Every structure is written in structure tokens, then in C-alpha cells.
Amino acid sequence: MLEKFAKSFESVCEFGAVLNFIIFGGAGAYLGYRTNMILAIVLLIIGILIAFLLNVLTFGFIAQIIEIRKSLHSIDYMLSEAKFDTDIAEIKNTVSKIEEKIAK
């Protein structure tokens, strides 16, 4: 289930990245073309850089949130499955046996 979600999330991220490049690059080129051709190229590059930064920040942030939630879920699961009372009792018994052997 998680792999299917990861693949669908990846396809959404790819679509969003392409859309951001088209929108910001096109907007930069259009604004520059209306005034000056050199400015069009500069604004196109700036638009693509802005789209790249937005993609990295947005999708990287979302991916980190998902990874943190997955890690927290696994930690909660391990803590719920741990038998601390049994482990502590076994440690106390072992320590008692060692103390008895040392006392003899």
C-alpha cells in the first residue's frame, strides 16, 4: 500500500514540477518579451530558478513529513511491542544470580 502511495505521490510531484517550470518560465519570458529580449531571457532563467526552488522546497518538505511520520509510526510500534517488565525481571534475576555467585 505504501509503495503504491509513493508511486502516485511521485507522479503528482513530477506533474507539479513540470507545471511550475511551465508557469514560472513562461511568465518570466512573457514579461521580458513585452519589454526587452535580453530581459526576456533573464526573466526566463529567473522564472525557472524560482520554479526549481519551489519544487525542491515544497516536495522535499512533504517527503520529509511523510518520512518522519513513518519513522514515528515504527517507533510507536516497537515501543508497544516491547516487553519492558519481562526484560527488567530477567535482568534482575540475572543480577541476583551473579551476586549469589560472587558472594560464594
Q: What is the pLDDT along the chain (104 residues), one digit of tens a residue?
A: 566 776 777 777 778 778 877 887 777 777 777 777 777 777 778 777 877 777 777 777 777 777 777 777 777 677 666 666 666 777 788 888 888 888 77
Amino acid at 5: F
Task: Bin 36: left if φ > 0, else alpha if -120 < ψ < 50, else beta.
Answer: beta
* H or E segment and range at residue 91: helix 84-103
Single pTM value for the model: 0.46
Cβ–Cβ under 8 Å, residues 54 and 20? yes
